């Protein structure tokens, strides 16, 4: 017994020569259903291919958007770095200004102390003048002996007081400028802080968008891998079907009758026994591959591989005669179906291994050959191949 592998699905060869594929399948009984299945599969694989192309285009678009987001993130980081540098420079300038304020404050304190001392001195001069008159003031306080010396000494005092006053005015002016600088620096610091906060928000938003796009891109890549796996499986199944059909065509060509001629014989005889002709055709394909002259190593002969003793019991005088062989094989299968209450798998197992083996095991015997035999025939029968 030979097993013909049968799988559904094809893409490359059917797509390259759809007319030849459909013609080949149509020559096999039940081939119309197979041709329809192949056409539907071709349409399905074409749709998968179109979706795959669209997914790849979407993936490329998302990748470009991710790259653009990364460029924007780089620009935002650069602006943020510049802002941070400006803030650092502002802080350094503030530190310098604070040092200047400290210096000016110390100078103001010394000037105020000197002014207070001078004011105290002038008060003392006024007191001495009131108590002792001009001469007493000159003699006691200034230690001068004449009015001319007094005028000279007083001019010196006035000059020192004028100089100290100009220093105080300059210091006050410097203090006003420093205060103005401090106000401007505070405004600049607040501006830079707002810019930094804005840049941080923009960077966070860009990072979130980039993360979402990467997730979508990963999802598309996963879907693409799944589609590629499905397409690969379909192509593999299509290759198996193509090889099986080629093998079946070669096997049918080895016999004297075409598949349509064999089906015509099977259809007329199976109607007598009330058996589906597609089931008989599946048995013939599994038994002999459609070769009317097939002989197994065990001595089984013809289309339905009848043993000589079984053929004699069924009244078959020429096992290589297609009509006699099919008639005998259908009669024997009809007997087995009745024996096992129309249980097709049990009857097929009995056709292969003998009814006693089926009775012994209460079903399909645990023989790998018999189990594959039943499985192959049921697959072909249920799929109309």
How high is the pLDDT of residue 371? 97
- Residue found under tokens 């000279």: 152
Q: How many Cβ atoms are within 10 Å of 69's Cβ, its own excluded?
A: 20
Identify the residue with better confidence: 312 or 59. Answer: 312
pTM over the 0.95 mark? no
Q: State yes or no: pLDDT of 14 exceeds 50.
A: no
Q: Place 140 in a pLDDT band, splitting at 50, 70 and 90.
A: low
Cα-flanking dihedrals φ and ψ of residue 382, to 5°? Answer: -70, -25
* pLDDT tens column, 68-114: 878 888 887 888 888 788 878 878 877 887 887 788 678 778 877 87
Find all residues with CB under 8 Å of 216, minimum gap 6, and list them.
Answer: 62
Distance CA 345, CA 159 (A): 134
198, 202, 205, 211: CA torsion to nearest 10: -140
- Residue found under tokens 């306080």: 141
Residue by residue, DSSP assigns 106-139 as: HHHHHHHHHHHHHHHHHHHHHHHHHHHHHHHIII
| Known active-site residue 287 | yes
Return the axis-axis angle of helices 277-287 and 259-273, rounded to nearest 10°: 130
Find all residues with CB under 8 Å of 259, minimum gap 6, and list them.
Answer: 27, 28, 29, 252, 290
By the 10 Å C-beta count (0-12 exposed, 13-18 middle, 19+ buried), 377 is classed as buried
Cα-flanking dihedrals φ and ψ of residue 132, to 5°? Answer: -110, 0
How high is the pLDDT of residue 110? 84
Q: How many Cβ atoms are within 10 Å of 181's Cβ, its own excluded?
A: 16
**Displacement of CA 321 from its chain's centroid (Å):** 63
How high is the pLDDT of residue 133? 64
Look at 4-13, 61-70, 164-173, 364-373 and tell me which has the smallest mean pLDDT: 4-13
* pLDDT tens column, 231-267: 788 788 768 766 665 555 554 455 468 899 999 999 9
How high is the pLDDT of residue 21? 45
**Displacement of CA 60 from its chain's centroid (Å):** 12
Distance CA 345, CA 372 (A): 11
How high is the pLDDT of residue 78? 87
Q: State yes or no: pLDDT of 331 exceeds 90.
A: yes
Q: Which of 299, 300, 302, 298 is nearest to 265 (CA)?
A: 302
Q: State yes or no: pLDDT of 134 exceeds 80.
A: no
Distance CA 322, CA 320 (A): 6
How high is the pLDDT of residue 88? 85
DSSP class of 301: B
Distance CA 196, CA 202 (A): 10
- Residue found under tokens 């297609």: 322
Q: Place 210 in a pLDDT band, splitting at 50, 70 and 90.
A: confident
How high is the pLDDT of residue 346? 98
- Residue found under tokens 């645990």: 366
Could you tell me the two tokens for 336? 């087995």
Catalytic residue among 42, 251, 286, 287: 287
* pLDDT tens column, 218-230: 988 889 888 888 8
* pLDDT tens column, 150-159: 677 767 768 8
Could you tell me the two tokens for 299? 């001595």
* pLDDT tens column, 271-302: 999 999 999 999 999 999 999 999 999 999 99
Q: Place 124 in a pLDDT band, splitting at 50, 70 and 90.
A: low
Q: State yes or no: pLDDT of 373 exceeds 90.
A: yes
Distance CA 344, CA 282 (A): 12
Q: Place 15 in a pLDDT band, splitting at 50, 70 and 90.
A: very low
């Amino acid at each position: 017994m030979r097993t013909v592998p049968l799988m559904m699905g094809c893409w490359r060869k059917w797509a390259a020569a759809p007319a030849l594929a459909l013609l080949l399948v149509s020559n096999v009984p039940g081939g119309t259903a197979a041709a329809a299945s192949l056409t539907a599969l071709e349409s399905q694989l074409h749709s998968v291919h179109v979706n795959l192309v669209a997914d790849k285009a979407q993936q490329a678009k998302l990748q470009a958007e991710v790259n653009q987001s990364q460029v924007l993130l780089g620009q935002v980081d650069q602006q943020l770095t510049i802002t941070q540098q400006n803030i650092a420079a502002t802080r350094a300038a503030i530190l310098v200004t604070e040092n200047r304020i400290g210096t000016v404050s110390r100078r103001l304190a010394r000037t105020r102390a000197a002014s207070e001392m001078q004011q105290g001195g002038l008060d003392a001069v006024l007191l001495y003048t009131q108590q002792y008159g001009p001469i007493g003031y000159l003699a006691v306080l200034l230690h001068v002996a004449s009015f001319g010396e007094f005028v000279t000494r007083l001019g010196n005092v006035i000059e020192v007081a004028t100089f100290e006053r100009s220093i105080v005015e300059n210091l006050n002016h410097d203090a006003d400028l420093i205060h103005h600088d401090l106000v401007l620096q505070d405004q600049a610091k607040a501006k830079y802080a707002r810019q930094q906060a804005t840049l941080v928000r923009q960077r966070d938003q860009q990072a979130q968008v980039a993360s979402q796009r990467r997730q979508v891109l990963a999802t598309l890549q996963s879907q693409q891998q799944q589609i590629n796996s499905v397409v690969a499986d379909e192509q593999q199944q299509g290759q198996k079907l193509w090889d099986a059909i080629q093998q079946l065509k070669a096997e049918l060509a080895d016999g004297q009758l075409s598949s349509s001629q064999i089906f015509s014989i099977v259809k007329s005889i199976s109607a007598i026994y009330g058996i589906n002709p597609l089931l008989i055709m599946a048995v013939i394909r599994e038994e002999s591959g459609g070769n009317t002259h097939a002989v197994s190593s065990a001595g089984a002969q013809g289309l339905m591989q009848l043993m000589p003793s079984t053929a004699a019991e069924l009244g078959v005088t020429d096992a290589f005669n297609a009509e006699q062989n099919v008639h005998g094989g259908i009669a024997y299968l009809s007997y087995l179906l009745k024996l096992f209450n129309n249980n097709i798998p049990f009857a097929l197992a009995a056709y292969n291994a003998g009814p006693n083996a089926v009775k012994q095991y209460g079903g399909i015997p645990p023989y790998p050959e018999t189990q594959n035999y039943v499985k192959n025939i049921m697959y072909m029968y249920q799929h109309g191949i």
